[in-house]
Amino acid sequence: MRQFKLMLLAFTFIIGSFARADEGMWFLMFLERLNHRDMQKMGLQLTVEEIYSINNHSLKDAIVQFNGGCTAEMISKEGLVLTNHHCGYDAIAELSTPEANYLKNGFWAASKKDELKPKSLYVRFFVRMDDVSKRILAKVNDGMTEEEREKAIAKEIKLIETENNDGGKYTVSVRSFFQGNEYYYFVYQDYKDVRLVGTPPENIGKFGGDTDNWEWPRHTGDFSMFRVYADANGNPAEYSTANVPLKPKHHLPVNLGGVQENDFAMILGYPGRTNRWMPAGGIDQNVKYAYPAWVEGSKTGMDQMKKYMEKDEAVNLIYASKYAGVANYWKNRQGMIDALTKFQTAKLKAAQEAKFNKWANKAENKAKYGNVVSTINQYYQLTNEKSRHDNYLMQLLRTSSFGVISRSIGKQISNYAQADSATKAAMRPEMEAMIHGFYAEMYLPAERDILAAQLNLYASKSGYTLAPSVIAMNGQYKRFVDAAFELSIFGSEAKLLAFLDIAADGMVINDPLYVLSDNLITHLRAKSEELMKAENDYSAAFRLLVDGLRVSKMAPIQYPDANSTLRLTYGKVRALPADKRNDAKVNYYTTMDGLVKKYKKGDAEFDLEQKMLDMAKAKDYGRYADKNGYMPVCFLTDNDITGGNSGSPVLNGKGELIGLAFDGNIEAMAGDVIFDKKLQRTINVDIRYVLWIIEKYSNAKHIVDEMDLVK
């Protein structure tokens, strides 16, 4: 019997190891030690040096972080950048007007001189990374409070960043991993002259809208294109007509051969945040308290925006990017609630922690780890209701432009009011420009309704001590907002511009909208001594939990959580179970036939132009048709990604571009907390569809001609 159990255990281990082959967001510097052999068996044909090299060009030189939140890739020797449509959405909306609506109708620059420069857009190239764990951890000890520990670490981080920035040439970031048990520094170079080259119309780039978001089968052409410019020597430079297209160290060749099930696929990018080490109490708190408030608060803000967006195209452009961002996380958080509940993730984590707690309370481990689990659980019990309150309040601040004015434009206006006459005169042009910019990004009737609706929701649902200013409203939220806007210097652009002539600081800090914003933010950040102690104890306990899980080898996770640093994930093209909604023969790809079947004339999410319908009917696919005759649109892989990977290149075993990652599937929405080896998928737009849209549909073949195409 004992032998049988050992055999069963060994078999389980082997199966478990195999099943986890596609899990993980890996550091490039550790590929040789941890992943290369496994990747070769799956179909990788590159050496580690060809993926990550400090001294020679490699794949990492073609991958950029796009505007701090997405990923993009260099795809030509002339600085051409490919990313998602939703990643470029804000820049495209900014450049659009009701008369020249690039967001709605698309745009393709006929030549480089026609490319458009948004106000603020940058890409970040990764240069190198290194381990500084020993150096930093040598500065701390177990006798320190968390605050003392953080100060010591911050001091050492500042030194490391200064030592490696080459006199300001580079941006250096030191990040913690494994909950503060390891530290690495990352060196980057930023380019700020980035211009729009092209975008498909919204009914392609956002086809399916909120309905299809996080869903499969998918038919979205989620891509946009930009170009990076540099000075004559290839160095970063502020925007100038004298700048020239950047010649990157490496750009990706583009493969037209298509994909088949079980083909090797790897993704490089900047995943934003995962919480794979999150304790059971944290998962339970999110599912029952934090995320429901997030979902309801998001929907409240969206509803108020939408009713004005639908009435006026100019207002629609103002709120398009904000609405899309809020809507994305609204559906994501509801999906997280559903998935984490369905798979009983908190229960699984609790079982692991119970096992760990037994190990932790053995005589040899008790002094260090004995109180870890109980301390963590006490923290979550203390903060459950507060997390609900905080998420209602944070969605108010996120969706209302006036919720945060005390920390944004209000702060600048206060500084101006306190200045002497000469300083005010010097500041005046900048202040006027700031005011124009602030009000250009809002529609005041919508802002009034957003703020009133969010105040009402926050007050009625928080279940926790409310901000004093909200208590004082005594339930009259709409009445308060209307009166505040009438009395406030921030109530209109004209009022605030007029205030510049008579500016006095007392008028700012006593302004009703400023006071409300300041009170809400102060209340959100306020912490009792009990809470501060609990946070201190929790932070230390969580770090010890992760350390103990690694030391005891109870944790199956070998990689650190995502935190917007460059990672590689590898896997295969892999189908989901057959789905009658998908016309494809195997449920790992979608086709233009399926796209046309979703068409609904006049529908905001599923409308198509007649040209698309005509070309689909004629099967006018050119060189981009699959060998089996259909026009590919999207495909699935089992790569491990999360937010921030949007726009990441999907590469074959030769490092050639085969697609563009843009979404995950709703069935595996718990992926930020736990990897589901059966259901987790990455949804990618097929590069052949991207090129077909550019060349055939948009008549912009000159852009395709820049790329290195291979079959």
Task: Give me the residues paired with residue 569 across strands.
Answer: 267
Structure tokens at 245: 């297209």
Q: Clarify whether 646 is annotated catalytic.
A: yes
380 in helix, strand or coil?
helix
Q: DSSP assignment, residue 662?
A: E
> Cis before residue 217, ω within 30 degrees of 0?
yes
430 in helix, strand or coil?
helix
Measured N-to-C along each axis, helices 345-360 and 313-342 cross at an angle, to the nearest 10 degrees, of 50
Catalytic residue among 53, 58, 76, 86: 86
How far apart CA 605 and CA 61 sit, in angstroms, is 36
How far apart CA 525 and CA 535 sit, in angstroms, is 13
- 587-590 long-range contacts, CB within 8 A, separation 24+: 587/217, 587/636, 588/259, 588/261, 588/635, 588/636, 589/259, 589/632, 589/633, 589/634, 589/635, 589/636, 589/686, 590/217, 590/218, 590/219, 590/632, 590/633, 590/634, 590/635
Task: Give me the residues paired with residue 684 across strands.
Answer: 635, 661
Q: Give the CA distances from residue 532 to residues 143, 145, 181, 529, in Å, rounded to whole numbers and listed in that order.
A: 17, 11, 22, 5
Task: Give me the residues paired with residue 254 across strands.
Answer: 657, 709
**Contacts for 325 with CB less than 8 Å, ≥ 6 apart:** none
Q: Provide the 10 A C-beta neighbour count for residue 620.
A: 14
Q: Clarify whether 251 is annotated catalytic.
A: no
Are 648 and 269 contacting, i.e. CB atoms less than 8 angstroms apart?
A: yes
How far apart CA 218 and CA 684 sit, in angstroms, is 9
How far apart CA 453 and CA 459 sit, in angstroms, is 10
Catalytic residue among 193, 222, 449, 672: 222
- Helical spans, DSSP H, in 310-408: 313-342, 345-360, 366-369, 372-399
Q: Provide the 10 A C-beta neighbour count for residue 226.
A: 28
How far apart CA 231 and CA 125 sit, in angstroms, is 16
65 in helix, strand or coil?
strand
Q: Provide the 10 A C-beta neighbour count for residue 186.
A: 21
Structure tokens at 630: 């259909």
User: Taking the C-alpha atoms of 23, 26, 30 and 34 in order, what is their torsion angle to the nearest 10 degrees?
Assistant: 0
Q: Clarify whether 166 is annotated catalytic.
A: no
Q: Give the CA distances from residue 453 to residues 286, 328, 345, 469, 660, in Å, rounded to whole numbers and listed in that order.
A: 23, 20, 34, 16, 38
Q: Give the CA distances from residue 403 to residues 40, 408, 557, in Å, rounded to whole numbers and listed in that order.
A: 52, 10, 40
How far apart CA 711 and CA 209 sit, in angstroms, is 32
637 in helix, strand or coil?
strand
Are 29 and 52 contacting, i.e. CB atoms less than 8 angstroms apart?
A: yes
Q: What is the DSSP string of 245-306?
A: E---S----EE-S---TT-EEEEEE------TT--HHHHHHIIIIIHHHHHHHHHHHHHHHH
User: Taking the C-alpha atoms of 645, 649, 650 and 653 in order, what is their torsion angle to the nearest 10 degrees?
Assistant: -130
Catalytic residue among 646, 648, 663, 686: 646
The catalytic site residues sit at 86, 222, 646
